[in-house]
C-alpha cells in the first residue's frame, strides 16, 4: 500500500470512496447484525488509513466520511441520554440555623403553624456520583450519568457490572421505574485499586469519588467490572405509578425490589431529632468505610413534596446539611494574578502542597484586592486553608506569629500582567461605589481575555466541544490558529495544520521530560503518531457535531457580562430564533424589550445592549453564524390553560398559601402580578378581596374564586 503522502489526488479520492463503503459495511455487520467479519485490528487499520488520507487531502473528505461517525465501532465516548425527568441538585445548609430556616420555609409555603412538625427522612449524603437506572417491566434497560442534569451519558454496560444494581427487579415494581442513587467506592476498594494502579505504572486516583467516576466512565466494561463499585438507591425519576406515599415508604419499596438502601436512613419528626441524627452521623463518619459529606433531609410526605415543587434546579422539599469544611496549615509561596474573560484580575494563592480531606491542594482563591488587604495576606506567610466539597479552597486566616521578619504587605498590580494595559476599579455612576474587582482595560488587545473568552465558548454550558480543553485553546491561540469563535469551526478545514501544531507540542513536551530526566532526545514514531491522528480526527468530528446548536446555548457561550445559563435561556425563550434575537438587538427598543422579561433587570439589559453596540462583537457573531445551524427554542413543552396569562391573586386563599399559589401558576406558564390592569387576564379573589376586585370589574377582567381556579388548573 502506498503511504498516504505519496498518493495523487485522484488515487486518494478513489481510496476514500472505497474506505467509506467498506467501513460502512463492517459497521453494519458489527452493530446491526452482531456478526463482524474482520478483526478489531483490521477494522482499526481501515479507519486509520482513512484518517491519514483525509489529513493529507482535507478537501477530499466526503460528506459521509466514516471519520464524522465517531461512536461507530471504536466509539471514544458514550451516547447521550436525555433524562425523562431532570436530575436535580440540592440546596446546602451549613449550620443548625440554616436547617431551622429550611423547615420554616417549608412551613410557610404550606401554610402550617410554627408549632406543627414536618416529618423528614434524614439520609447520609453519599460522596460518589449519581446515576439513573431505568427499568421497564422490572428489567434494567438503561443506566446513565447525571451529566448536566438534563442530559447524561449512557453507561448501561458499566452499571450492569455493579452487584448492588439488580438487572431484574424483585416484587411488584411499577412498569416504568427510574431509580436514582449514588455509585460509590468503599475506602477498602479504593486503596486496593490505587495499589494495583501503582503496580501497573498507571496514575492513581486522588479520592474514592474520582475513582468511582473514573471507573464507570471506562469505555471497556471489563475494566469497570474489575473495579469494585457499590450503589445506594435514594430517589426516582420517571415512574408510572407511585408505590408509596412517603419518601421512607419509597425507600422500603426500593429494598423490596432488590436495591441497597443506606442502612442509616432515619425518619425524624422534629428539628431536635434532626440535629441529633446529624451529630450521630458525623461521629460515625470516619468509621463508615465510605465517604459521606453531609446529611440530606427530605420532607417525608410525597403529597407535600408535590406541593412544594422546585425552585430553579433544587427541590423546595429537600436540603443537604453539609459537614464543616476541613482545614490545614501551609505556606503561601506566591500570589499570581490571573486575568479572566471579562478582564478581572483574580489573585490566586500558590501554596506549598498540602493534603486536605484526602485531596492535595496547591492553589487557593484570594478573591480580590480588598480581601488580601483585609486579611493582610503576605507572600511567605503561614496560612490556614479550608476546602469544602467541590468549592475552590480558601484562605481562612494568616498565622501572624509565624510571619517571616522581613515580609512586606502585598501590593496589588495596577497594570494587567498579560498585556500591560491599565487595570482599574470601575465606579458605579449611581452609587459612587468602587467595584471590588480591578479590571484590565485592554479589551480585545489583551491575549488573556481573548483566550478566556474562547475557553468559555467551548466549555460545557456553551458549545461543549469534547477534546478541546483549555490547554489546546491556549496552544492554538499561541500558534495563531484561533482568535475568535468562528476560527474554531475553521479548524475543520485545516486538520493538517492542527496535526502539526499538536505534534510539535507533544515533541516539545516529551523532550522537556527527557531533558528533565537527563536523557538524550529521541525521535518517537509509530504508535504515538497514530494516537495523534485519532485525536485530530475526533476533535474535528467533535467540532463538526457542534455546528448544530440550541439558541440558548449559543447566547450563553457568547460570554456577555452578567449573562449566564439562566438568563440565556430566558432570552432564547423570548426571541425563539436567532434572527428574531438579532433583529431585536438592532432595534431602538432593545433595552426596553429585554427589561420587560421577567428575571432580567437593568444591569443585565444594559450589558447585553453594550455587547451589541460594539461593532466588533456583531461582526464576530455574524462570522460565527456562517458556520452554524442554530436550532430555535421550542415553545414550553406543557401547554396549560393558563400559560401566557397574567394572573392576580387577591383576598384570602384557603387551600394554599399565596407563595404556593404563585409558584404553581408560574410553573404552568402564567405570569403572576401584584396589581390589576387592562393587561390582567384573571383575578382569583378570595374572601376579603377589596380594591383589586373593583379594578378587575373596572377593566372587565375575568374574576373567579379559588375553587374555580383550582378546577381550571386541574386540581
User: What count of other Cβ atoms lies within 10 Å of the Cβ of residue 527?
Assistant: 8
Q: Is residue 90 close enough to count as binding ligand IVH by CB under 6 A?
A: yes
Please, what's the b/e burial string for 125-159 (b: 16 or more CB within 10 A of its CB; e: otherwise)? Answer: bbbbbbbbbbbeebebebbbbbbeeebbbebbbbb
Segment near ligand IVH (CB under 6 A), from 313-321, 379-387, 524-532, 575-583?
313-321
Distance (Å, rounded) from C-alpha 650 to C-alpha 648? 6
Of 87-95, 197-205, 483-491, 535-543, the segment contacting ligand IVH by CB under 6 A is: 87-95
Task: Identify which of residues 123 and 153 has a Cβ nearer to ligand IVH in the complex.
Answer: 123
What residues pair up with 130 in beta bridges, in sequence order?
182
Q: Does 235 bind ligand IVH (CB under 6 A)?
A: yes
Report residue 413 as a C-alpha cell.
498590580
Count CB neighbours of 203 within 10 A: 9
Task: Provide CB contacts within 8 A for 178, sequence distance 6+.
Answer: 84, 85, 132, 133, 134, 135, 236, 237, 238, 239
Q: How far apart are CA 69 and CA 71, in angstroms?
A: 6
Q: What sign has the CA pseudo-torsion 443, 448, 454, 455? A: negative
The contacts of residue 410 (CB under 8 Å, 6+ apart) are 335, 372, 373, 377, 378, 379
Minimum CB separation of residue 603 from ligand IVH in Å reads 30
Nearest to ligand IVH of 129, 539 (CB atom) = 129
Distance (Å, whole) CA 235 – CA 239 = 11
Q: Smallest distance from the beta carbon of 87 to ligand IVH, in angstroms? A: 7
Residue 182 within binding range of ligand IVH, rule CB under 6 A? yes
Task: Name the nearest CA neighbour of 449 among 470, 427, 419.
Answer: 419
Our CB check for ligand IVH shows the closer of 296 and 473 to be 296
- CB under 6 A: which stretch of 40-48, 120-128, 276-284, 331-339 binds ligand IVH? 120-128
Q: Does 540 contact ligand IVH by CB under 6 A?
A: no
Choose between 123 and 660: whose C-beta lies nearer to ligand IVH: 123
- Collapsing DSSP states into helix, strand and coil, what is residue 365? strand
- Looking at 7, 16, 61, 88, which residue binds ligand IVH (CB under 6 A)? 88
Contact with ligand IVH (CB under 6 A): which of 318, 345, 454, 604? 318
Coarse DSSP helix, strand, coil percentages of the chain, rounded to the nearest 5 percent:
40, 20, 40
Nearer to ligand IVH, 126 or 672 (CB): 126
Using CB under 6 A, which of 52, 65, 67, 130 touches ligand IVH?
130
Q: How far is the CB of 295 from ligand IVH (least distance, A)?
A: 8
Residues 396, 384: Cα–Cα separation, whole Å: 6
Give the interface size with ligand IVH as a residue count (CB under 6 A).
Answer: 14
Q: Does 122 bind ligand IVH (CB under 6 A)?
A: no
Nearer to ligand IVH, 130 or 156 (CB): 130
Is 296 near ligand IVH (CB under 6 A)?
Answer: yes
Q: Which is nearer to ligand IVH, 132 or 368 (CB)?
A: 132
Name which of residues 96 to 115 contact ligand IVH (CB under 6 A): none
- A 10 A CB-CB count for 167 gives 11
Catalytic residue positions? 125
Cβ neighbours around 85 below 10 Å, total:
13
Site residues (CB under 6 A) for ligand IVH, limited to 370-389: none
Q: With respect to ligand IVH, which residue has the nearer C-beta, 296 or 419? A: 296
Residue listed under C-alpha cell 422500603: 252
Contacting range for ligand IVH; rule: CB under 6 A; set: 84-92, 270-278, 540-548, 697-705: 84-92
d(CA 103, CA 108): 9
Per-residue binder mask for ligand IVH (CB under 6 A), 632-671, x = binder: ----------------------------------------
Q: Could you write out the three-class secondary structure of 641-689? A: CCCCCEEEEECCCCCCCHHHHHHHHHHCCCEECCCCCCCCCEEEECCCC
- Residue 89 binds ligand IVH (CB under 6 A): yes
List the one residue from 4, 126, 337, 600 that touches ligand IVH (CB under 6 A).
126
User: Alpha-carbon distance 30 to 37, whole Å?
Assistant: 8
C-alpha cell at 666: 408560574
Q: Under the criterion CB under 6 A, does residue 319 sit at the interface with ligand IVH?
A: no
Q: Which of 173, 315, 393, 462 binds ligand IVH (CB under 6 A)?
A: 315
Q: Does residue number 630 form part of the binding site for ligand IVH (CB under 6 A)?
A: no
* Cβ neighbours for 59, distance < 8 A, ≥ 6 positions apart: none
Instruction: State the minimum distance, in angstroms, from the CB of residue 315 to ligand IVH.
Output: 5
Residues 437-456 that bind ligand IVH (CB under 6 A): none
533 binds ligand IVH (CB under 6 A): no
Provide the 8-state DSSP code for 205.
Answer: P
How far apart, in whole angstroms, are the C-alpha atoms of residue 486 and residue 628? Answer: 9
Distance CA 220, CA 647 (A): 54
Q: To the nearest whole angstrom, how small is the minimum distance from the Cβ of residue 125 to ligand IVH?
A: 4
- DSSP state, residue 33: S
Q: Which residue is nearest to ligand IVH (CB)?
A: 130
465 scored as a contact of ligand IVH (CB under 6 A): no
Is-contact 66 22, C-beta < 8 A? no
Binding ligand IVH by CB under 6 A: which of 320, 416, 648, 672? 320
Q: Which is nearer to ligand IVH, 130 or 158 (CB)?
A: 130
Cα dihedral 583/585/589/592 (nearest 10): 130
User: Please, which residue, 66 or 124, has the CB nearer to ligand IVH?
Assistant: 124
With binding defined as CB under 6 A, does residue 123 bind ligand IVH?
yes
User: What number of H helices and E strands is found in the chain?
Assistant: 25, 26
Binding letters toward ligand IVH, positions 587-606, x by CB under 6 A: --------------------
Spell out, one character per residue from 205 to 234, where the chain touches ligand IVH: x when CB under 6 A holds, - when not.
Answer: -----------------------------x
Nearer Cβ to ligand IVH, position 234 or 457?
A: 234
Nearer to ligand IVH, 181 or 559 (CB): 181
The edge-to-edge listing of strands for the beta sheet with 266-268 is 92-93, 318-322, 292-299, 120-126, 266-268
Cα gap 311→308, rounded to integer Å: 9
> Does the footprint of ligand IVH cover residue 183 (CB under 6 A)?
no
Q: Do 665 and 657 form a contact (C-beta atoms < 8 A)?
A: no
Stretch that binds ligand IVH, among 124-132, 370-378, 631-639, 641-649 (CB under 6 A): 124-132
Pattern 241-280, binding to ligand IVH, x per CB under 6 A?
A: ----------------------------------------
The residue (of 92 and 631) whose beta carbon lies closer to ligand IVH is 92
CB of 162 to ligand IVH, least distance (A): 16
Q: Cβ 259 to ligand IVH, closest distance in Å?
A: 13
Residues that bind ligand IVH (CB under 6 A): 88-90, 123, 125-126, 130, 182, 234-235, 296, 315, 318, 320
Amino acid at each position: 500500500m502506498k503511504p498516504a503522502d505519496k498518493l495523487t489526488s485522484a488515487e486518494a479520492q478513489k481510496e476514500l470512496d472505497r474506505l467509506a463503503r467498506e467501513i460502512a459495511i463492517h459497521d453494519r455487520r458489527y452493530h446491526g447484525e452482531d456478526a463482524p467479519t474482520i478483526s478489531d485490528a483490521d477494522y482499526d487499520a481501515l479507519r486509520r488509513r482513512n484518517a491519514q488520507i483525509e489529513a493529507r487531502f482535507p478537501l477530499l473528505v466526503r460528506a459521509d466520511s466514516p471519520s464524522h461517525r465517531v461512536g461507530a465501532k471504536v466509539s471514544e465516548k458514550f451516547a447521550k441520554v436525555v433524562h425523562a425527568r431532570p436530575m436535580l441538585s440540592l440546596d446546602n445548609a451549613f449550620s443548625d440555623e440554616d436547617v431551622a430556616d429550611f423547615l420554616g420555609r417549608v412551613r410557610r409555603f404550606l401554610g402550617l403553624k410554627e408549632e406543627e412538625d414536618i416529618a423528614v427522612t434524614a439520609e447520609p449524603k453519599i460522596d460518589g456520583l449519581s446515576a439513573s437506572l431505568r427499568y421497564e417491566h422490572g428489567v434494567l434497560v438503561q443506566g446513565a450519568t447525571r451529566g448536566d442534569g438534563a442530559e447524561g451519558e449512557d453507561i448501561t454496560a458499566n452499571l450492569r457490572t455493579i452487584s448492588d444494581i439488580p438487572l431484574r427487579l424483585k416484587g411488584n415494581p411499577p412498569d416504568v421505574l427510574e431509580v436514582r442513587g449514588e455509585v460509590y467506592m468503599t475506602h477498602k476498594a479504593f486503596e486496593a485499586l490505587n495499589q494495583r494502579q501503582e503496580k501497573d505504572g498507571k496514575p492513581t486516583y486522588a479520592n474514592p469519588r474520582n475513582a468511582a467516576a473514573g471507573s464507570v466512565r471506562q469505555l471497556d466494561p471489563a475494566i469497570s467490572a474489575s473495579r469494585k463499585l457499590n450503589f445506594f438507591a435514594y430517589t426516582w425519576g420517571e415512574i408510572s405509578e407511585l408505590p408509596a406515599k412517603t419518601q421512607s415508604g419509597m425507600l422500603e419499596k426500593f429494598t423490596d425490589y432488590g436495591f441497597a438502601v443506606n442502612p442509616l436512613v432515619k425518619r425524624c419528626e422534629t428539628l431536635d431529632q434532626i440535629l441529633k441524627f446529624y451529630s450521630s452521623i458525623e461521629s460515625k463518619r470516619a468509621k463508615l468505610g465510605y465517604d459521606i459529606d453531609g446529611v440530606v433531609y427530605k420532607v417525608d410526605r410525597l403529597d407535600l413534596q408535590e406541593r412544594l415543587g422546585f425552585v430553579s434546579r433544587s427541590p423546595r422539599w429537600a436540603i443537604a446539611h453539609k459537614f464543616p469544611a476541613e482545614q490545614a496549615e501551609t505556606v503561601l509561596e506566591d500570589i499570581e494574578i490571573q486575568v479572566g474573560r471579562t478582564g478581572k484580575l483574580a489573585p490566586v494563592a500558590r501554596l506549598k502542597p498540602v493534603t486536605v480531606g484526602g485531596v492535595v491542594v496547591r492553589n487557593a482563591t484570594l478573591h480580590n484586592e480588598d480581601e488580601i488587604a483585609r486579611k493582610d495576606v503576605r507572600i511567605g506567610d503561614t496560612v490556614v486553608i479550608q476546602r469544602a466539597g467541590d468549592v475552590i479552597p480558601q484562605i481562612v486566616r494568616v498565622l501572624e506569629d509565624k510571619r517571616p521578619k522581613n515580609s512586606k504587605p502585598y501590593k496589588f498590580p495596577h497594570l494587567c500582567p498579560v498585556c500591560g494595559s491599565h487595570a482599574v476599579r470601575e465606579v458605579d455612576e449611581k452609587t459612587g461605589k468602587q467595584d471590588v474587582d480591578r479590571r484590565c482595560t485592554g479589551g480585545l488587545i489583551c491575549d488573556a481575555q481573548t483566550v478566556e473568552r474562547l475557553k468559555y465558548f467551548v466549555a460545557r454550558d456553551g458549545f461543549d466541544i469534547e477534546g478541546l480543553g483549555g490547554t489546546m485553546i491556549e496552544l492554538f491561540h499561541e500558534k495563531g490558529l484561533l482568535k475568535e469563535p468562528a476560527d474554531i469551526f475553521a479548524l475543520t478545514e485545516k486538520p493538517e495544520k492542527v496535526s502539526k501544531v499538536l505534534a510539535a507540542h507533544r515533541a516539545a513536551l516529551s523532550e522537556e521530560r527527557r531533558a528533565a530526566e537527563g536523557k538524550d532526545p529521541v525521535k518517537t514514531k509509530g504508535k504515538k503518531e497514530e494516537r495523534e491522528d485519532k485525536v485530530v480526527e475526533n476533535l474535528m468530528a467533535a467540532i463538526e457535531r457542534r455546528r448544530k446548536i440550541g439558541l440558548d446555548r449559543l447566547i450563553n457561550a457568547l460570554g456577555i457580562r452578567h449573562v449566564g445559563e439562566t438568563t440565556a435561556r430566558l432570552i432564547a425563550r423570548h426571541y425563539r430564533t436567532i434572527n428574531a434575537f438579532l433583529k431585536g438587538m438592532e432595534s431602538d427598543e432593545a433595552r426596553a424589550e429585554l427589561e420587560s422579561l421577567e428575571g432580567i433587570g437593568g444591569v443585565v439589559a444594559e450589558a447585553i445592549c453594550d455587547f451589541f453596540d460594539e461593532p466588533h462583537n456583531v461582526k464576530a457573531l455574524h462570522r460565527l453564524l456562517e458556520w452554524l445551524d442554530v436550532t430555535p427554542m421550542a415553545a414550553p413543552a406543557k401547554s396549560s390553560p393558563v400559560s401566557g396569562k397574567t394572573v392576580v391573586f387577591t383576598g384570602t386563599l384557603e387551600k394554599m398559601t399565596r407563595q404556593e399559589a404563585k409558584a404553581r401558576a408560574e410553573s404552568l406558564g402564567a405570569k403572576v402580578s401584584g396589581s390589576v390592569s387592562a393587561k390582567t387576564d384573571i383575578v382569583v379573589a378570595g374572601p376579603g378581596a377589596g380594591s383589586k376586585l373593583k379594578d378587575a370589574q373596572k377593566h372587565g377582567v375575568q374574576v373567579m374564586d379559588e375553587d374555580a381556579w383550582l378546577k381550571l388548573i386541574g386540581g
